[in-house]
Amino acid sequence: MYIFSRKGGNFVPDASSLQFLLKLAKGIASQFGPNCEVVVHDLATNDPESSIVAIENGHVTGRKVGDGPSHVVLEALRGNQVQLQDHLSYLTRTKDGKILKSTTMYIRDDDGTPIGIFGINYDITLLLAMENMLKQFTATEKDEKEPESISRNVSDLLDELLEQSVKIVGKPVALMNKEDKVKAVQFLNDTGAFLITKSGDKVCKYFGISKYTLYSYIDEAKE
């Protein structure tokens, strides 16, 4: 199911909303051409590993229906859903180096709970080469030092989160003490990394710790 509404305490398919979003995605992609990817993520099923239910021009990021997730999906599933806000006109980067101008909008049910994500990713790689001439077109709402990554699968996403955790600590894993590793694990927990299947095994191997130690670090980070 793609889009849901609440009836009698349960989520049920909303055919009209679904049809509207599919037509909107196709219309936007058609209007702006093959460099414009439009994607719909389903949050209602709470499945972070297969969140994409509709996508136009998926070749932009190399994704297809059934793929996922992205950082925003994990954020929506793991974070404070009440405080989630639409993210407009920001930069992202694909694994093969494309720079995209992206917009992320949350689809909510009658109670305000996020049940889907409508995203637009426009490939501006070539346009950036002509930034001086096209600066007004490529300008983003918020200047960012480092574009966010768009992952093709959960394994790539977990690798990126692990790399980010090391950057936050500021030293390689080999030089980390317990406090450093607790900080890294806290970051991974806050970003929803442990929602990914078997992520605990990969995290343990990456930091050279046992499962028991990992759980104690998570508890310590919460405290």
Nearest partner of 103 among 91, 116, 114, judged by Cα: 91
Tens digit of pLDDT for each residue in 134-181?
Answer: 556 556 666 555 677 777 788 888 999 999 999 999 989 999 999 999
In angstroms, how far apart are the furthest CA atoms of the chain? 56
Q: Where are the domains of the chain?
A: 4-144, 157-222
Tens digit of pLDDT for each residue in 87-138?
Answer: 899 998 988 889 999 999 988 888 888 888 899 999 999 888 777 665 565 5
User: What predicted TM-score, i.e. pTM, was given to this entire model?
Assistant: 0.65
Q: Distance between CA 88 and CA 175 in Å, rounded?
A: 38
CATH number among 3.40.50, 3.30.450, 1.25.40, 1.10.1060, domain 4-144: 3.30.450
Q: Are 48 and 132 in contact (CB under 8 A)?
A: no
How far from the centroid of its chain's Cα atoms is residue 164's Cα? 14
